[in-house]
Amino acid sequence: MNPGKRQYLEVILPLKFNGGFAYYYVPEGVTDPLERGSWVVVTMVHKRYLAVVNRSGCPLPDGLPAGKILPIEKVAGVRPLPSVQLDLWQAVAEYYLCTVGEVFKSAYPAAFFHQTEKKREINRPQPAAAAAMEVTLSADQQEAMNKIEAYFENGRRTVLLDGITSSGKTEIYIQLAKKHLHSGRSVLYLVPEIAMSRQLERRLGKAVGDSLLVYHSKQTAPVRKKIFDKLVCGDGNYLILGTRSALFLPIVNLGFIIVDEEHDASYKQDDPAPRYNGRDVALMMAAKLSLNTLLGSSTPSLESLYNVATGKYAVVKLRKKYYGAEDAPVTVIDMGKVYRLHNARGSFSMQLVNMMAARLKENRQVMVFRSRRSYSSFIQCDCCGDTLRCPHCNVSLTYHKYNNSLSCHYCGWHAPFETVCKRCGGTYVTRGSGTERLVEELQELFPEAVIARFDAETAATRTAEKKILGDFESGATDILVGTQMITKGFDFENLSLVAVIGADSILSLQDFRADEKALYLLEQLRGRVSRREGTGLMAIQTMQADHPVLQALQNGDRDAFRAQMLEQRKLFGFPPYIRLLQLTLKNPSTEELHHSCRLVARELTARKVTDFTPAIAPAVDRIAGKYIRYIWIKLPRNAASRLKKASIAKAVEAAHAASPSSEIIIDVDPL
C-alpha cells in the first residue's frame, strides 16, 4: 500500500510508553469500522498486545517516518469502549503524572481479555429485572434522603452524607439507587475493600435482584470479562458494586455514583501507577458526565470537610442510630500504671480481663483488635540484645508460631526460626504481641471460650473469611481477634465489647495524618459495638492515656477535634489547604541514591519548583535491597498547580535520564 494512502491509527498500549501513544496503519483487507475505543491487536518489539484506538485517520507526528510504521494485525473481538472512558484515562494520567498506557494496564490487566480471540460477537444480555423488595426508611432517614435529593435538584452535584455509625446510610443508598434503576440508568456503588463488597452483596441483592453486578480484583478474569460485556452493550441498567477498579468499567448509561466510606485510605492505589484515589477519580468521572455523586461516611475525611466549608460540597447529617442505641462508652486503660502495679496477664490488663469475663458470663461476644498479625513483632537475644532483622530490609523479622518461621512483611523473605543466637550463643526470645499470640493468651485466660482469629493469614480465601465471620455472627465463636479487617461495617447483634490492644502503634505514626487516621480507625471499631440497643462498651489499652485522640473519643467532641486538626493543617501548610506530592527514590547503592536526590533537587530548582524538602529517610529506609528517600513537594491549591506538576514531571524525567540506576516514583496526593 502506498504510504500516502494509508489510514493511520493512534493507539493506547498497556505500557508505560513515552508520549502516551503509538502509531499503526490499517492494512488492506480490513473492513471493520475503526472508531475511537475500538480494540486492535498489534505488535510492539516482537510482542503482541491488545490495544485501544484513541484516534483513527490521524496524521503522523512530525519526525515519525511512515516507513517505520507497522500494520495492525487484526481487529479484536471486543466491543468498543465508550469515548468518555478514554477521556477519563487521559484525565487520570494527567492528574497523577503517569502515562495513559499505565492507566489502561491498571484498568484491564492482560489476563482480563484471555478469551477475546474465541468469538467476535457477544450475546447481548436481556435487561435485568429489579426485585420488588422494598426498603423502609425511618423518619430521620427519609428526611436526610429528601435533603440529598433537594440538593441534587438545585444543581449541587456532590453531597456528603455525614452519618454516624448505625444511622442507616446504606438504606438511603439503596433507595436512591433503586430510583435511578427504575428511571433506566445504572448506578456505581463504590466501597474501599473487597470484604465490604462481600458483606453488601447479599443485602443489595435482596433489594435490586438481578440488577446487581459485583466487580473486584479477586474475581476470576472470565467473571470480570462477563461483567464488562454486559455493561459495554448498554442494554440493561445495573447497580454495580465494586472497589476502585470498577471506575474503569464501560458503563455506558451511568446515572449516579455512590462512594461509601469516602474517608478510607484503601481507595488510594499505592503501587503500581496510576497511584490514584478512587474517591477523587469518581468525582472526576462525575464531572465529565455531569452526574450527581453521594459521598458517605461516619468519619468524613478532612478533605471532604474542607470542601463542605468552602461550599464545594453540600452536607447532610444523620445523627440518630437506626436502632436508637447510643455511642458505646469508652474506657481508656493506662498500661503504664498497669505494669507498675503488676496488674496484667500477658498483653491484657486485669481490668480488661474482668470486663471480658463479665461479657462472656452473660453469653455476649467480644472483639479484640490488634494492628499487627503474627505471633510476635520482633525477636531479641536475652543475653546480647541482638534483634533479628530482614537481610533485605531495614526492619525486624516477625515470628509466626504456627509454622515456627520468621518472615518479613515488607519483602516476603522467610526462614525457619532458630532459638540460638549466632552472635553470643544466647537464646532468642519473642517480644511484642500480634494477633496469633493474643489468641494463645486468651485461650489460657478463657479455656472454655471459642476463640477465632481474623487477619490476612487466617482469612486468605473467601471460604475461610466467610466461615470465620459466619461463626461469629451465629454465636458459635465467643471472642474474635483481628486486625484492621474487622473494623469495616460488620454488624454483629450479640457483640458487647470491643477491646483495642496496643493502641500506641496507631497513635504514634510519623505522619501528619496520624491523628486523623487513628480517630477514623477507633471510631470504626467503636461502631461495631454501638449498632444495637444494649450495653456495648469499648476498652482501649495504651501507654498514652492522655492522647488528644483518646480524649476526643471519650468526651464526644469529635467535631471540635476535627475542626482543630483543620486549623493545624492550615497553620502549618498541609492538605487540604495545599496539594502535596511525594517523590520516592530507590537504589541499592546509597552513594548513587544520594546523587539522584541531588539531581532531582537541582532539576526542580531549575524549573522554579522551590517549595520542597531535602531528601528524607523514612522509618523503614531499605526494602527488598533498595535504599529509600522521600522528597515532599507542596503545591498551591489553584490552577497554577497543574503547570507546576508538569514541571515536576519534566524534572524527574531529566534526573532519571542523568542517573538511570535510581527508580523515581511520583505520588500525587499521597495518604
Q: What is the mean pLDDT of residues 645-649?
A: 94
How many of the other CB atoms lie within 10 Å of CB of 196? 21
Q: 330-375+433-567 has which CATH code?
A: 3.40.50.300
Q: Which of 113, 145, 95, 141 is nearest to 49 (CA)?
A: 113
pLDDT tens digits along 532-547: 556 789 999 999 999 9
Phi, psi of 317 (to 5 degrees): -105, 140
CATH 3.30.70.360 occupies which residues in the chain?
579-668
Distance between CA atoms of residues 137 and 171, nearest Å: 7
The neighbour count for residue 214, using CB atoms within 10 Å, is: 21
- Given a contact cutoff of 8 angstroms between Cβ atoms, the answer to whether 23 and 10 are in contact is yes
CA distances from 171 to 76, 182, 559, 625 (A): 42, 17, 24, 49
Q: What are phi and psi of 133, to 5 degrees?
A: -65, 130
- Quote the pTM value: 0.90
Segment 386-414, tens digit of pLDDT:
899 999 999 999 999 888 999 998 999 99
Please tell me the distance from the alpha carbon of residue 453 to that of residue 479, in angstroms, as a whole number.
9
Q: Where in the chain is the domain with CATH 3.40.50.300?
A: 139-318, 330-375+433-567
CATH of 579-668, one of 3.40.50.740, 2.60.40.1120, 3.30.70.360, 3.30.420.40: 3.30.70.360
For the chain, give the mean pLDDT. 90
pLDDT beyond 70 at 119: no
CATH of span 139-318: 3.40.50.300
Q: How far apart are CA 388 and CA 402, in angstroms?
A: 19
Confidence of residue 196 (pLDDT cuts 50, 70, 90): confident
Record the cell numbers describing residue 129, joined without a space: 429485572
Strands 330-334 and 254-259: unpaired
Could you report the per-residue pLDDT of 325-355, keeping only the tens digit for each? 678 899 999 999 999 999 999 999 999 999 9
Q: Predicted confidence band at 162 (pLDDT cuts at 50, 70, 90)? A: very high
pLDDT (mean) for 373-396: 90
Coil, strand or helix: which one is 556? coil
Contact present, 526 and 164 (Cβ < 8 Å): no
Grid coordinates representing 439 are 489468641
